[in-house]
Chain A
Amino acid sequence: MTATTHARVPAGAARAASPAPSDSGLRARRAAKRRQLTAAGVLMTPFFALLVTVFLVPVGTAVYLSFFSDDQPGLGFGPERTVFVGLRSYAAVLTDPTFLGGLGTVALYCLIYIPLMVVGALALALLLDSGVVRLRAFAQLGLFLPHAVPGIIAALIWLYLYTPGISPVIELFAKGDITIDFLGVHTVVPSIVNIALWSNLGYNMVVFYAALQAVPREVIEASVVDGAGPVRTALQVKTPLVRASIVMVSIFTLIWALQLFTEPMLLSQSSPMISSRFSPSMYIYDAAFTRNNYSLAAAASVVLLVCTIALSYGVTRFTSRADSEEAR
């Protein structure tokens, strides 16, 4: 619907802009333009109908809910009333130590996970691109394989590998007289980082590798002629050239990391270290569907949304500023 209304408008603008060669020619062109706009409307309507129903309206609803609350009238008799509470839910969320703790956990998770992921995937792609790796196709396929493993199953596999009695890893450490608790206070965040890293390393490596393949061979040959070794070529010639994909991978990794839910949700079945409000997403789920406090959940959702947009915007701005400085 939105698309069609927007699409209709420019028919007039096109008429005003183009000088009229002849009346019939003008009419024919206008008809053609109208046909094109109708086609654009038809092609775009299904997507924009979805955009409105499963994106715009829900975001609006979340914002609305965060400002209203269901108040029980005195003694619990009579119908519930919805009353405007202003920023009360935000104040409740932002002073709730469990929510702030969740934000802190995700911040720590991002600080460990994102650099490891980006640097690791890029390093592997550069190594594979260097041409000295044997069985390159097999290596790529092997690294990519975890991407075909659904997140919940990746978490399941690692949960078993973290569980004493089942895990061959813990068994192996035990033979060397090392006891390791993968789900302890200090190890639980790194353990979750490991699951996410395992799942996505190969996928991002393939993204970087594909971008590296697009680097013109002449550029690399020129740098070799100039006396750059393979390491310098990789770091100072190839890496800057795949900058766009580094930015893209960083932003997508960030957005996914901020939503942290699946892995801790599964691990919480077995680890007392993971509370039901371990991450902001788990907090939202808990507030909405365990405590049935919709305004609190909505306020937490909006806070998470604002954090996500601000951070993604920050990354884009930061990298584009670095770009323009480089150009100077």
Chain B
Amino acid sequence: MSAADSSLLRPKLLGPATVNVVVAVSVLYTLLPVLWLVLASAKNRDALFSSDLLSLSDFSFLQNLKDLFAMDGGLYGRWYVNSLLYAVLGAAVGALVSVACGYAFDKYRFRHKEKLFGLVLAAVMVPQTVLALPLYLMASEAGLVNTFWAVFIPVLFNPFGVYLGRIFARGYVPDEVLEAARVDGAGELTTYARVALRMLGPGLITVFLFQLTAIWNNFFLPMVMLSDQDLYPVSLGLYQWNSSASVSPEYYPVVIMGSLLAVLPLILAFVLLQRFWRSGLTAGAVK
């Protein structure tokens, strides 16, 4: 009996129409809340509470935008810059550090290598909330609590990036290239910086993107470390404004507008760097 026969005999539970409906419903599930955010950001406070999202009569997108950047003396702009600093700088440095380490794990042989790598993998498993209190106490000992560094240094640590870096080094940098460079008398680090790093480019961008997302999302660590509002990232700032909103509702429209703007950098990064992270996902999944 051929495939065509058997599917003719059975009722088509999973025919193309059903499949398309299931996928379409799932896409609506993921898209509609974002669409709500876009529509709600254009509403003033009264319209927000009337649940009447589609009427364009009280369109106040620009007014909300102006309010957002004027609220509390322009704090939001500061938070945005902070988030960009933590995330872009942190992800760039972190990705370089992790990929260099992953590359060394793949290309060099030394004693206890797999045990050390096991330690790196174990670090992937440890919940951040477990480390928060000791990190806070260490930072307070070092006088770093409530400074930029208290958030910036811990987020550089990305053991999963080392795992990915090792896989990328195996895949993208053939050992023959290193041998050839050695024969030419090039130093090991020069070879890494001039030859290998370029071949690792797509992998580096993948790790960067993963870490960018993680740091942009980070909420727990800044909440523990920072008390100065001027140092907050967007995530923590919006959390705080939202808690004020129950008392003073004028915060609602700015929280919504602020959320919309906070989504944009990651969308931009994912769209611009699409080519790279797709290959990265496969590398992470195939063990």
Contact = CB atoms under 8 A, between A and B. Distances in A.
Contacts of B203: none
Contacts of B3: 224, 227-229
A324 B3 CA distance: 32
Contacts of A59: 126, 130-131, 134
Nearest to A202: B30
B134 A58 contact: yes
B125 interface: yes
B248 interface: no
B153 interface: yes
Interface string B100-121: 1101110111111000100110
B63 interface: no
Contact of B266 (A2, A10, A133, A150): A150
Give the secondary structure class of A's interface: helix
A207 B281 contact: yes
Interface in A187-237: 198, 201-202, 206-208, 210-211, 213-214, 224, 227-231
A294 interface: yes
Given A157-B37, A198-B33, A214-B286, A61 B134 contact: yes
Give the secondary structure class of B's interface: helix
Contacts of B62: none
B91 interface: no
Contacts of A10: 109-111
Nearest to A246: B285
A6 B131 contact: no
A201 B30 contact: yes
Interface string A57-68: 111111001000
B263 A150 contact: yes
Interface residues of B, number: 102
Interface residues of A, number: 111
A308 B104 CA distance: 29
Interface in B121-137: 122-137
Interface string A33-70: 00111111011101110110111011111100100000
B216 interface: yes
B109 to A, nearest CB: 7
A82 interface: no
Given A151-B217, A156-B242, A229-B3, 20 more contacts: A7-B108, A40-B110, A50-B153, A51-B123, A51-B159, A127-B22, A148-B263, A156-B255, A161-B33, A201-B30, A208-B285, A227-B2, A245-B285, A255-B125, A261-B219, A285-B129, A294-B137, A301-B133, A304-B127, A304-B129
The 7 closest A-B pairs by CB, nearest first: A39-B188, A61-B134, A58-B134, A47-B101, A245-B285, A40-B108, A281-B129
